[in-house]
Structure 1
Amino acid sequence: MALIPPSPGANAPRSRSHNRHVILGQIQAAGPMGRAALARSTGLSTQAVSNIIADLETDGLLEPCGARTVGRGLPAMQYQINPGGAFALGIEVRQTAIVGALLDLGGAIQATERVSLTDTAPETILPLVKSLKQRLLASCPQAQHKLLGAGLVMPGPFGATGLSGASADLTGWTDINVQEAFETALDGPVFVQNDANAAAMAERLGGLAQGVQTFGYLYFGSGLGLGLVAHGQLITGAFGNAGELGQIPVMTPDGPRTLENCASRNAVQSHLARAGLPGDDIEQLARHFADGQPALLGWIDGAAAALSQVLPLLENLFDPETILLGGAMPAEIVEAMVARITLPEVSVAHRPDRQYPRLQVGSCGRLTATRGAAALVLSNALSPQFSLSA
């Protein structure tokens, strides 16, 4: 496994902002560290590290957490991220709801709220997002003047493409400058990504993908998306639409269909509706699974068969350390799906020196993309290694 070393610091005075990111990123990744250890790991001088730590303490982003004896000499003061030093807002726009989360600098959720939608037009969503931000901040007063910014995630594709108008697309957003619209509504900087990319970021910063440099995250939203992280950086594509694998054709007993029509929230809802069963929300799906509902179990079999055709292709094209599955789907259904997926031995991923399973269920749960939206902001503050541009 090829690992990418920590991003080095730069001693030039003009690199102050970069070096702050480097120090924060090192501590976030490795836990509490002292000045000497930070100097060794970043290549910065001890004096430069001391100056940066002093600045970050003044800004409330770092805090001392006790001294530790390392080798000879006096105990060295250790520093850690101050969770209450800054906050990030995450907003996820789905076809049927807006979900918001407020995270502290340590990545812990401080407040969440869900707003149901019947209309996804910009003129409906933008005012709702503005009021949602106000309520989340009101519920966490300490975040009022410490908000770093907001992350916004929504289903792709972004812009007018050959996939526009697909079942998971948000009506009315094709010709809208999404970032400008939300920066105006939220009165501040906004990082925009599709939901699968944000979900991958959440797992990278606080889930099973911590420490994993190259992986794929298959995200079950209304449709089906793929977040790709290579050497610690998101792969977004030229226009932010990398990973739109839902339109890949697969063979089913009923003939060729797209993967998204076999394995997504929209797909399971349609399947259950044909059986005369409700399936519009996650709780209903969880109840059907607990009851052993034959229609749902049959859909899981079909979705697993479709994914078994596509995932080996992803492995051979991308060569990931692991692939994670998760999103707005009950964990027990995703686990059952993973148990039924067949991965062939004829794959670059079938190798004896693997450190991680080829396929895993993500650990960040139903709010993965919402948490990932806020994680876009936090990663920008904590590490210079992430590429966040759509």
Structure 2
Amino acid sequence: MPESEALALRGGNQSRTRAHNERLVITLLHRNGALSRAEIASRSGLSAQAVSVLTRKLEAEGLILGGEPVRGRVGQPSIPFRLNPDGASFIGVQVGRRSAQVVRGDMTGRIRDKVARSYAHPEPELVAEFVMDAVAVIAARGDLRPATGIGIAIPSEMWNWAGLIGLPEARMQGWRDMRLAERIAAETGLPVYTRNDATAACGAELMFGRADLPADFLHLYFGYFVGGGLVLDHRLYDGPTGNAGSIGSMPIGWQGRPRQLIELASIHALEQSLPDGRVLTDEGGWDMPAPLLDRWLAQAAGSAAHAIAACCAVLDVAAVVIDGWMPATVRASLAGRIEAALPGFDFSGMRRPQVIEGTLGRAARSIGAAAIPFGAHFLVDQAELVPAGAG
């Protein structure tokens, strides 16, 4: 993904840091697109000789591809290098309150294979059975290299949402002791990583979405339940328990009791208002009477703007990214309404953030799940990103 501002990475020239430096080169190509050896050396601080050795090794392993030589005015032609989409693959598991997906992603964030299932309620063992079967199917088919690892994007503490989902608490308790990651790891022998689903959606936008994102932003994902993610200094911030940016749980109103954003701005609230009991997806069910959709958009935008203003009292973010599993036209209307609502709040002593539309929609959480092992195995820690020319 092209970077939003010029960033450089610093590497070492000693042989003991070679594995780190290989990650460094891959990270630069991931963030910038095609780069010549000279550009890699300039941005990384590595010597020209070290870069030459690294690019030859990575190209031989099939992780990067060299392009056609580009002739300049002087000197030898330069060869631009880019990531090989087929160089490695990753499995992403996305579990939600209404659907689950297992995908196979490549090094560019593209989904190359998918198995999906929708359901009325997330019955623990039924969902787990589907996931285990789908992982086996995805891992066995296709012409990509074997998966390097598996990422899971799943709501935190699924068992706590029985009331809103409409299931008795006893039927949701199976999620408490599910140990889904351990079961998948035992079955596949692959490393498995877990992340909150809304945080994973935020990570997907950061890694594979818009190129113009600022260093610090809040990400709101409107799914069956609304959730959020947080990026600080170009780095996805999970927090100690993985729930940083959990804006859906923010109390923003009082109607005889505290109310959370999740009750007012989630697609669940819209679905509950429909008279025919239909189930909404990003592709279907949205052909509803205009007043119903308008009423939800007004409530969701107003309550989201309230939560954003409260966040800005604590977090100095430049932007808020709005995405979700809804048609692009609905997302655009929601983002526009949130932007229009923000001036109604007093931002004295705070910075009012820019409102930006996300780009990944329903795929965000699945892409974010597959991105977790990609980052774990091939990218340097984002804390090592520094402004170009610094250090």
Q: TM-score, normalised by structure 2?
A: 0.85
1:121-132 pair list within 5 angstroms:
121-132=123-134
- Number of matched residues? 370
SS, match of residue 318 in structure 1:
coil
From 298, 310, 313, give the equivalent of 2:310. 313
> Is 1:333 aligned to residue 334 of structure 2?
no
Residue identity matched to 1:302: Q
Q: What residue ranges of structure 1 are gaps of 5+ in the alignment? A: 351-356
Shift of 1:310: 1.0
Q: Give the aligned partner of residue 295 of structure 1.
A: 292
**Aligned counterparts of 1:117 and 1:164: Cα–Cα separation in 2:** 16
Task: Give the secondary structure class of the aligned counterpart of 1:80.
Answer: strand
Structure 1 residue 209 displacement after superposition = 5.3
Cα deviation digits, residues 94-123 of structure 1 (max 9, x gap): 122211222221222212221133563553
- Distance in 2, matches of 1:100 and 1:287, equals 28
Corresponding residue for 1:18? 20
Read off the aligned partner of 1:174 and give its amino acid letter: R
Contact 1:232 1:385 in 2 (8 A): no
SS in 2 for 1:250: strand
The secondary structure found in structure 2 opposite 1:262 is helix
Distance 1:283 1:76 in 2: 45
Offset at 1:237?
A: 1.4
Structure 2 counterparts to residues 140-179 of structure 1, below 5 A? 140=142, 142-143=143-144, 145-157=145-157, 167=164, 171-179=173-181
| Superposition deviation, residue 299 in structure 1 | 1.6
Contact 1:26 1:38 survives alignment (8 Å)? yes
The Cα offsets for residues 52-98 of structure 1, whole Å up to 9 and x where unpaired, read as: 11221121101110112345211122211111111111110012221
Alignment of 1:167-206 (within 5 A): 167=164, 171-206=173-208
2:140 & 2:225 partners in 1: Cα distance?
33
Alignment-derived partner of residue 343 in structure 1: 342
* Residue identity in the other structure for 1:204: L
Show the 5 A alignment for 1:82-93.
82-93=84-95
Residues 343 and 211 of structure 1: CA distance in aligned 2, closer, same or farther (over 3 Å): closer
Per the TM alignment, residue 132 of structure 1 is displaced from its structure 2 partner at its CA by 1.2
Secondary structure, in 3 states, of the residue corresponding to 1:323? strand
Supply the distance in 2 between the matched residues of 1:224 and 1:182 (Cα, whole angstroms).
Answer: 27
Q: CA deviation at 1:5?
A: 3.8
CA deviation after TM superposition for structure 1 residue 240, in Å? 1.0
Contact 1:157 1:244 in 2 (8 A): no
- Give the structure-1-normalised TM-score: 0.85
Counterpart of 2:80 in 1: which secondary structure?
A: strand
* Maintained 8 Å contact 1:330/1:366: no
Partner of 1:236: 238
Report the alpha carbon displacement of residue 175 of structure 1 after superposing the two structures with TM: 3.7
Percent identity of equivalent pairs: 28
Counterparts of 1:93 and 1:153, CA distance in 2: 6
Amino acid at match of 2:193: F
> 2:368 matched to which residue of 1?
372
The 8 Å contact of residues 321 and 357 in structure 2, kept in 1 or not, is answered as: yes
Q: Is the 8 A contact 1:127 1:185 kept in 2?
A: no
What secondary structure sits across from 1:77 in the alignment? coil
- Would you say the 8 A contact 2:108–2:208 is kept in 1? no
* Distance (Å, rounded) in 2 between the aligned partners of 1:76 and 1:194: 42
Residue of structure 1 equivalent to 2:48: 46
CA contact (8 A) 2:139 2:146 kept: no
Is the contact between residue 217 and residue 324 of structure 1 (CA under 8 Å) also seen in structure 2? yes
Q: In the TM superposition, what are the counterparts of 1:110-129 in structure 2 within 5 Å?
A: 110-117=112-119, 120-129=122-131
Q: Deviations over 1:290-312 (max 9, x none)?
A: x52x2222122111121121111
Moved more, 4-13 or 39-48: 4-13
Secondary structure of 2:265 counterpart: coil
Residue of structure 2 equivalent to 1:384: 380
- CA–CA distance in structure 2, aligned partners of residues 4 and 35 of structure 1: 17
Distance 1:4 1:238 in 2: 29
2:138 to 123, 136, 139: 136
Q: Provide the residue aligned with 2:281 in structure 1.
A: 281
Query: Which of 349, 361, 376 is the aligned partner of 2:357?
Result: 361
2:152 maps to a residue whose letter is: L
Mapped to 1, the partners of 2:61 and 2:248 lie a distance apart of 44
CA root-mean-square deviation: 2.7
Q: Would the aligned equivalents of 2:281 and 2:325 in 1 still touch at CA under 8 Å?
A: no
SS in 1 for 2:241: coil
Residue 304 (structure 1) aligns with:
301
Tell me: CA distance 1:264–1:65, structure 2 relative to 1, closer, same or farther (3 Å): same
